[in-house]
C-alpha cells in the first residue's frame, strides 16, 4: 500500500452566479461533481475541492472569455493548467442530454482525452486594456449613428418651416444647426417640441463625438505602447491595431502558427473544388471583428499601395474575381500582422516603446 494519489482532470461548466465542477480519472471515470459560487472565495473552494481528489493535471473551463474569465485567471495564478473547452455540439447534447453536471463532466473528458487543447487568453496585460476601452467606443459610435439617423427622420415628418431651414445640410452641418435651435417654453406646440427634440439629439451627438475622441486618444497611446511594429504596417491605424490586439490577447503564443491566427480571423481558405475546378470558398467562421480589421487593411492598400494595386491588376488579368483577390490579400495580411504581433507582444515591456522596424508591405 502506498500514499500515492492518482492524477485527476477537472472540468467546469460556468454561469453568471455559480460554477459546476466535475472530476474524472485518467481513463475518464466520473469521480464527483459539485456546485460553487462564482466569487473569489468560491474559486478558492473549487480549486481546493478539485485538488482533494488527487494530483490535478489540468482543468477544462467553458467560456473563459465570458462567465469563466475570473475563474480562469484564478486557476492560472495558482499554477493550474487551464484548457479552453467548447460547449458540446448539438448531436452530443441530443444523445446525452443537457445539465450542469453533464456539461462539467464533458469538459473534463474533453481535456483528459486530448480533444480540447486550446489555451485561453491571460487577460492581464495591455491587450486586455485595449479590449475593455474598445467596448464603450463601439457603443458610442453606434449611438452617435443612431442620433444622426433620428435627426434626419424627425426632419422628414417635422413641420415644413423647420425642414426648409435644415434641408440639404450634411450630417455635421445638421448637428451644428440643430444644436443652435432655441425652442419655446410651450412644448404642447408640435413645432416647439420638435425643436427641443432636435436640439437634444444634436447635443447628444456632440457629447458622443467628444467621448469617442477621448477614447481614440487613449487607445492610440495603448496600441503604440503594446504593438508599435503593428502600427508601422501599411494600412494599420489605432482602431485596426486595437482589434487585432484584442483578438490575439496578451499571450499570443497560444496561437501556434500564423495559420492558426488566419483561421482565428476567418481568412484561412476552405477548399471548395469539384471535378476540374480548383477553388476555395469564403470562410464564415472565426472572429468576424478581426476579419473586418483585415478587410479594412486590404481596402486601404488596394487604394493607396502601388504594389497591391499592381497585384490586383495582374490577378485580374489571370481571370480571378475581385472577391477572390481580396481573400488572397487578406490571407497575406494575416501572415504579416501575425509576425508583427509576435515581435511586439513577445518583447519586454521597456523595449516596446523604442522598437520600430521597417516592415515589408502587404502585396
Task: Enumerate the domain spans of the chain.
Answer: 7-113, 126-225, 227-352
Q: What is the pLDDT of residue 282?
A: 74
**pLDDT tens-digit profile of 155-193?**
888 888 888 888 888 999 999 999 999 988 888 888 899
With 0-12 CB in 10 A as exposed, 13-18 as middle and 19+ as buried, what is 188? exposed
Q: What is the pLDDT of residue 45?
A: 96
- The mean pLDDT value for 340-350 works out to 67
Q: 73 and 123 in contact (C-beta within 8 Å)?
A: yes
- The mean pLDDT value for 124-150 works out to 94
- The mean pLDDT value for 7-11 works out to 94
- Residue partners of 33: CB distance under 8 A and separation at least 6: 20, 21, 22, 23, 101, 104, 105
**pLDDT tens-digit profile of 94-113?**
777 788 999 999 999 999 98
Whether 9 shows a pLDDT value over 60: the answer reads yes
- The mean pLDDT value for 205-233 works out to 94
Q: Give 262's pLDDT tier (boundaries 50, 70, 90).
A: very high
Q: What is the pLDDT of residue 359?
A: 30
Whether 218 shows a pLDDT value over 70: the answer reads yes
SS3 at position 227: coil
- Residue partners of 130: CB distance under 8 A and separation at least 6: 219, 222, 223, 226, 242, 245, 246
**What CATH number should be reported for the domain whose range is 7-113?**
3.30.420.40
User: CA angle 41-47-49, nearest 5°?
Assistant: 100
- The mean pLDDT value for 186-213 works out to 93
Q: What is the pLDDT of residue 351?
A: 36
Q: What is the pLDDT of residue 363?
A: 34
Q: Give 361's pLDDT tier (boundaries 50, 70, 90).
A: very low
Q: What is the pLDDT of residue 1?
A: 42
Q: What is the pLDDT of residue 255?
A: 86
Distances (CA, A) of 85 to 11, 47, 92, 117, 206: 9, 18, 14, 8, 44
**pLDDT tens-digit profile of 36-84?**
999 999 999 999 999 999 999 999 999 898 999 999 999 999 999 999 9
Q: From the CB of residue 147, how many other CB atoms can be counted at a distance below 10 Å?
A: 20
Q: What is the pLDDT of residue 350?
A: 34
- What is the DSSP-derived secondary structure letter of residue 88? P
Whether 278 shows a pLDDT value over 80: the answer reads no
Whether 135 shows a pLDDT value over 60: the answer reads yes
Q: What is the pLDDT of residue 268?
A: 86
Q: What is the pLDDT of residue 354?
A: 35
Q: Percent of the chain scored above 90 by pLDDT? A: 64
Q: Give 349's pLDDT tier (boundaries 50, 70, 90).
A: very low
Q: What mean pLDDT, rounded, does the chain reach?
A: 88
User: CA angle 27-28-34, nearest 5°?
Assistant: 140
- The mean pLDDT value for 312-328 works out to 91
User: CA angle 198-200-205, nearest 5°?
Assistant: 95
Q: Locate 210 and state its grid cell.
A: 467628444
Write the Ramachandran bin of 169: left for phi over 0, alpha for psi from -120 to 50, otherwise beta.
beta
Q: What is the pLDDT of residue 3?
A: 56
Amino acid at each position: 500500500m502506498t500514499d500515492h494519489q492518482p492524477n485527476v482532470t477537472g472540468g467546469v461548466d460556468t454561469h453568471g452566479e455559480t460554477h459546476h465542477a466535475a472530476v474524472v480519472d485518467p481513463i475518464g471515470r466520473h469521480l464527483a461533481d459539485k456546485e460553487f459560487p462564482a466569487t473569489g472565495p468560491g474559486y478558492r473552494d473549487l480549486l481546493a475541492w478539485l485538488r482533494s481528489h488527487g494530483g490535478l493535471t489540468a482543468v477544462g473551463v467553458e467560456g473563459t472569455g465570458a462567465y469563466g474569465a475570473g475563474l480562469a485567471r484564478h486557476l492560472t495564478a495558482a499554477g493550474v493548467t487551464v484548457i479552453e473547452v467548447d460547449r458540446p455540439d448539438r448531436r452530443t447534447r441530443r444523445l446525452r442530454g443537457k445539465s450542469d453536471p453533464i456539461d462539467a463532466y464533458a469538459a473534463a473528458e474533453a481535456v483528459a482525452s486530448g480533444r480540447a487543447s486550446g489555451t485561453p487568453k491571460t487577460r492581464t496585460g495591455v491587450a486586455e486594456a485595449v479590449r475593455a476601452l474598445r467596448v464603450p467606443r463601439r457603443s458610442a459610435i453606434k449611438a452617435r449613428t443612431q442620433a444622426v439617423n433620428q435627426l434626419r427622420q424627425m426632419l422628414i415628418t417635422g413641420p415644413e418651416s423647420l425642414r426648409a431651414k435644415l434641408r440639404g445640410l450634411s450630417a455635421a452641418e445638421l448637428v451644428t444647426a440643430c444644436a443652435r435651435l432655441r425652442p419655446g417654453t410651450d412644448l404642447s406646440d408640435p413645432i416647439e417640441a420638435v425643436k427641443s427634440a432636435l436640439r437634444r439629439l444634436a447635443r447628444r451627438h456632440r457629447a458622443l463625438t467628444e467621448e469617442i475622441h477621448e477614447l481614440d486618444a487613449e487607445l492610440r497611446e495603448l496600441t503604440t505602447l503594446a504593438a508599435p511594429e503593428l502600427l508601422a504596417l501599411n494600412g494599420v491605424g489605432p482602431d485596426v491595431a486595437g482589434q487585432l490586439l484584442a483578438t490575439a490577447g496578451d499571450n499570443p503564443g497560444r496561437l501556434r502558427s500564423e495559420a492558426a491566427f488566419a483561421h482565428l480571423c476567418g481568412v484561412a481558405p476552405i477548399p471548395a473544388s469539384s471535378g476540374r475546378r480548383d477553388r476555395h470558398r469564403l470562410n464564415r467562421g472565426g472572429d468576424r471583428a478581426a476579419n473586418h480589421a483585415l478587410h479594412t487593411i486590404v481596402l486601404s492598400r488596394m487604394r493607396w499601395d502601388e504594389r497591391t494595386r499592381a497585384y490586383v491588376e495582374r490577378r485580374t488579368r489571370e481571370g480571378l474575381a475581385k472577391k477572390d483577390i481580396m481573400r488572397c490579400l487578406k490571407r497575406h495580411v494575416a501572415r504579416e500582422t501575425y509576425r508583427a504581433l509576435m515581435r511586439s507582444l513577445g518583447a519586454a515591456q521597456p523595449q516596446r516603446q523604442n522598437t520600430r522596424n521597417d516592415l515589408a508591405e502587404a502585396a
